[in-house]
Amino acid sequence: MKAIIFDMDGVIVDSEPLHFELERSLLEELGGKITKEEHKSFVGTTDYHMWSTFKEKFNLKPSVEEMIEMKKERFIENIYRIELVENFQEFMLTLYNEGYPMALASSNNKKAVNAIIKKFDLDRYMELFISGEEVSKGKPDPEIFLTVAEKMKIEPTACLVIEDAYNGVRAAKAAGMKCIGFQNKNSGNQDLSKADLVVENYNKLDIDILRKLFN
């Protein structure tokens, strides 16, 4: 194990309930409506994929880019409501003090990623941040994780990903990486069965448990 890569929403910050609320509200304003179960299927995918799907399904008037921008602005306005996932900070500090390089690879847009980095001082501890806008294919495609490995100059097989979404776990495994599925109840009932290990809280993890995944 030479690097740890974190997804952001639902893994570092408990932001999925806010995303659900803002997206459903905006969609209904624009004339569309989806069930909670339908909505959860988009967890871990890019804004572009989700709003493109909504535009086509409901024949929405604004462009995909305009809808993404509307949601982006509302998310930034409400960022004060977001907190770190329980015990994440202690876990991150343990990895940092052990000297493991860490990165963030989020399907969210760059503006939202930057706002979270700033709010929680993540750039003090993590070396690299990649958003969904910096890759051409979103999760479950492995591009975002392979991009991180390439930029960090670390073999994909030496990377560990922590993900809370079905699409994210699929992307990590497709990249040839070890993956811990983080079962966050706020991310919906995500199928994380393809992960190498599934936990519900960071207090269930320590360095020895992580290292054993690579033995």
**pLDDT interval class at 113 (50, 70, 90):** very high
Whole-number percent of the chain with pLDDT over 90: 89
Pairing relation of β-strands 159-163 and 197-199? Answer: unpaired
φ/ψ of 140, rounded to 5, equals -85, 5
pLDDT tens string 14-48: 998 999 999 999 999 999 999 988 998 888 788 89
Q: Within 13 Å, how many C-alpha atoms sit on residue 131's CB side?
A: 13
pLDDT of residue 66: 97
Contact 63, 111 (CB under 8 A): no
Return the axis-axis angle of helices 16-30 and 64-77, rounded to nearest 10°: 130
Contact 30, 67 (CB under 8 A): yes
Contact 88, 121 (CB under 8 A): no
pLDDT of residue 146: 98
Whole-number percent of the chain with pLDDT over 70: 100
Q: What is the DSSP letter of 185?
A: G
Task: Give the mean pLDDT of 45-70.
Answer: 95
Confidence (pTM): 0.90
Quote the CA–CA distance of 118 and 125 in Å, as a whole number: 12
Longest CA–CA span in the chain (Å) reads 53
Contact 152, 127 (CB under 8 A): yes
pLDDT of residue 40: 86
Helices (H), 121-164: 143-152
pLDDT tens string 167-204: 999 999 999 999 999 999 998 889 999 999 999 999 99
pLDDT of residue 173: 98
Quote the CA–CA distance of 154 and 133 in Å, as a whole number: 22
> Secondary structure of the chain: what % helix, strand, coil (to 5)?
50, 15, 35
pLDDT of residue 43: 87
Q: How many residues does the chain have?
A: 215
pLDDT of residue 44: 79
